[in-house]
Amino acid sequence: MTWKRSFAVLVCGLAMVGASAAMVAAEAKYAYKLGHSVSEKHPYHLGAVRFKEIVEKETKGDVTVSVFPNNQLGTGERDLLEGLQLGTVDFYVGSTGPMSGFEKKFMLFDFPFLFKSKRHVYGVLDGKIGAYVMGLLDKQGMKGLAWCENGFRHVTNSKRPIAVPADAKGLKLRTMENKVHMAIWKALGADPTPMAWGEIFTALQQGTVDGQENPIPVIYTSKIYEVQKHLSLTGHVFSPAMIIMGKAKFDALPKEYQDIVLKAAREAAVYQREQITKMEDEQISKLKELGMTVTTPDTTPFREATKAVYEQFRGELGEDAKLLDDIIAGN
């Protein structure tokens, strides 16, 4: 075979590959983008990939989902949620922390030391209260599909262990842009500083802030141990998470595909919860091995110090403040 003929065969082969890829893309009747803010090792990503696999299998490729981790579609979770409203992002997997900025009733889940255990959490999210709050997203141009989780939030810092509330005094801590979360740390004497997640590692590294608070899988997969010495297992807030779709995009789907998307989201959420629970204990041990000092404080004085946060924000829930009482009572 001459070199000219070999070259022609190569060009032909590449053209066929390109045509094949174009045909696959053309075959998808609905091609969507899913964004989240963390790394490919985080349970959000694992859940997102499981969701993608189920949707594409059940629709026989008519609906495709491309997953974009690490804030590739936005500068943070709030930005991704705004993308859902604008139509630049189709699916979101992430925490409900920024949601109270869109719908105040999501504040219901932000109160300190509200949940006793994950069993308590799941009973609320998978019950009437969770269904009611999820349904409120419709008015915001979003379609809630399923509740997953981010986990109980803990605090890290570079200065000292936090064993009692006084240890938090004066620490500049990165928080989400969430006024209840900020009020919790103000009540504990810290200086809460809202900051987009994409900026936090550099801010910790340069000492712009002293610490941050997040669930264990975020702390571990984002390598916070490289720039923080102390981890305190305060569990001060449980951070629910959701799989959400832009409502206009959801409404445009045929009913058959809507049902598949909802089913896939619920199955992926169960899988994601399993993964995050499995990872937490393993990752705490690994964080110790990586040199972090891990403190497990008595949370009683922290609960007492943050009681005023309930009275500060309870009124903003209006008639739904009774739901807060139901959660506390374990109903």
- What is the structure's pLDDT at 63? 98
Alpha-carbon gap, residue 209 to 203, rounded angstroms: 6
Average pLDDT over residues 109-126: 96
- What is the structure's pLDDT at 26? 53
CB distance 137 to 244 below 8 Å: yes
pLDDT digits 0-9 by tens, 80-102: 999 999 999 999 999 998 999 99
pLDDT digits 0-9 by tens, 178-214: 999 999 999 999 999 999 888 999 999 999 999 999 9
- What is the structure's pLDDT at 25? 46
Q: Is the pLDDT of residue 237 over 60?
A: yes
- What's the half-sphere exposure (Cβ side, CA atoms, 13 Å) at 33? 15
3-state per-residue secondary structure call for the chain: CCHHHHHHHHHHHHHHHHHHHHHHHHHCCEEEEEECCCCCCCHHHHHHHHHHHHHHHHCCCCEEEEEECCCCCCCCHHHHHHHHHHCCCCEEEEECHHHHHCCHHHHHHCCCCCCCCHHHHHHHHCCHHHHHHHHHHHHHCEEEEEEEEEEEEEEEECCCCCCCHHHHCCCEEEECCCHHHHHHHHHCCCEEEECCHHHHHHHHHHCCCCEEEEEHHHHHHCCHHHCCCEEECCCCCEEEEEEEEEHHHHHHCCHHHHHHHHHHHHHHHHHHHHHHHHHHHHHHHHHHHCCCEEECCCCHHHHHHCCHHHHHHHHHHHHHHHHHHHHHHCC
- What is the structure's pLDDT at 197? 85
CA angle 135, 139, 141 (to 5 degrees): 100
Tell me the pLDDT band of 177, cut-offs 50, 70 and 90: confident
**Dihedral sign computed on CA atoms, order 153, 158, 161, 166:** negative
Residues of the chain above pLDDT 70, percent: 92
CB distance 53 to 20 below 8 Å: no
Name every residue whose Cβ is closer than 8 Å to that of residue 256 and which is 6 or more positions away in sequence: none
Residues of the chain above pLDDT 90, percent: 88
pTM given for the model: 0.87
Query: Torsion over CA of 55, 70, 122 and 173, rounded to 10 degrees?
Result: -170
The amino acid that residue 107 corresponds to is M
- What is the structure's pLDDT at 9? 43
**263 vs 2 pLDDT, higher one:** 263
CB distance 43 to 276 below 8 Å: yes
Q: Which two tokens stand for residue 33?
A: 């983008």
pLDDT digits 0-9 by tens, 285-314: 999 999 999 999 999 999 999 999 999 999
- What is the structure's pLDDT at 28? 85
Nearest Cα neighbor of 234 from 151, 178, 291, 174 is 151
Residue appearing with tokens 């997203």 = 137
Q: Is the pLDDT of residue 104 over 70?
A: yes
pLDDT digits 0-9 by tens, 14-60: 344 344 334 444 578 999 999 999 999 999 999 999 999 999 999 99
Q: Domain residue spans in the chain?
A: 29-329
CB distance 213 to 175 below 8 Å: yes
Helix axis angle, 321-329 to 128-135, nearest 10° = 150
Q: Is the pLDDT of residue 13 over 90?
A: no
Q: Is the pLDDT of residue 6 over 50?
A: no
Q: How far is CA 5 from CA 1, 13, 14, in A?
A: 6, 12, 14
**Dihedral sign computed on CA atoms, order 321, 323, 324, 326:** positive
- What is the structure's pLDDT at 34? 98
Altogether, the residues listed in the chain come to a count of 331
CB distance 234 to 171 below 8 Å: no
Neighbouring CB atoms inside 10 A of 126's CB total 14
Average pLDDT over residues 92-119: 95
Superfamily of domain 29-329, CATH level 4: Bacterial extracellular solute-binding protein, family 7 (3.40.190.170)
Mean pLDDT for all residues in the chain: 92
- What's the half-sphere exposure (Cβ side, CA atoms, 13 Å) at 243? 31
- What is the structure's pLDDT at 331? 59
Average pLDDT over residues 308-329: 95
Tell me the pLDDT band of 8, cut-offs 50, 70 and 90: very low
